């Protein structure tokens, strides 16, 4: 892929669930306390001349169904240069809880629909990030083990979508799991879902690397 270029003032929209939200609607508007804010600090420090307009559209608790519901207002209408999507862990949790409409295949279908619309209407750079679960729960029959096993199915769907739509892709599940050989899960995400500062910094750095190196 050719090296990406950005122009001064370009809009970059980051959309997703609580991992993206990170308090942007209450505790720390407008970017939150997570990876979106960290990414903005990194890119402003390294490329101040770009003055990129970074926009956080994460909402806690969201699934792909919720993103589809607000996609035209929160993505299409903004006409961003780049759209970054991180969604799926709530889908996996709710599917395990009995919401059969959020199966990996339903997730893939709804995700395809929003990507179709995005490419047809605004055709931005698209970055898809795989959902992740930060746990070593591979042996005991626990809920965490079930989530860990299931989330890989959602990861596969995002990887497939990225290939089909020729998007940028970051396998965050793989990134976090690789670090568990050196760092305890609690240091990256105490509840296996919501990253610590260290976890958010990992995401921000991977995004920067993907877009600028």
Residues with a known catalytic role: 18, 191, 194
Residue 209 CB coordination number (10 Å): 11
Of the candidates 61, 57, 45, 48, the residue with the CA atom closest to the CA atom of residue 12: 57
In the beta sheet, which residues pair with residue 193? Answer: none
Beta strands in 69-188 (DSSP E): 82-86, 125-129, 168-170
* Displacement of CA 31 from its chain's centroid (Å): 14
Q: How far apart are CA 194 and CA 157, in angstroms?
A: 21
Beta bridge partners of 16: 58, 86
194 closest CA partner among 60, 38, 95, 96 = 60
- Cβ atoms of residues 161 and 108 within 8 Å: yes
């Amino acid at each position: 892929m050719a090296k990406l270029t950005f122009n001064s003032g370009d809009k970059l929209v980051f959309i997703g669930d609580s991992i993206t939200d990170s308090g942007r609607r209450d505790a720390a508007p407008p970017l939150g306390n997570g990876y979106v804010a960290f990414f903005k600090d990194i890119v402003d420090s390294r490329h101040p001349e770009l003055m990129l307009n970074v926009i956080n559209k994460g909402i806690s608790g969201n699934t792909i169904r919720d993103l589809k519901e607000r996609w035209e207002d929160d993505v299409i209408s903004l006409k961003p240069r780049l759209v970054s999507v991180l969604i799926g862990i709530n889908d996996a949790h709710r599917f395990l809880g009995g919401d059969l409409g959020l199966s990996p295949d339903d997730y893939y279908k709804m995700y395809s629909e929003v990507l179709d619309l995005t490419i047809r209407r605004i055709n931005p750079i698209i970055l898809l990030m795989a959902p992740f679960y930060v746990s070593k729960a591979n042996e005991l029959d626990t809920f965490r083990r079930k989530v860990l096993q299931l989330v890989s199915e959602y990861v596969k769907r995002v990887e497939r979508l990225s290939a089909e739509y020729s998007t940028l892709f970051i396998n965050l599940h793989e990134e976090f799991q690789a670090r568990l050989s050196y760092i305890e899960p609690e240091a990256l995400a105490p509840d296996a879902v919501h990253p610590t500062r260290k976890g958010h910094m990992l995401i921000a750095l991977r995004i920067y690397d993907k877009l600028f190196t």
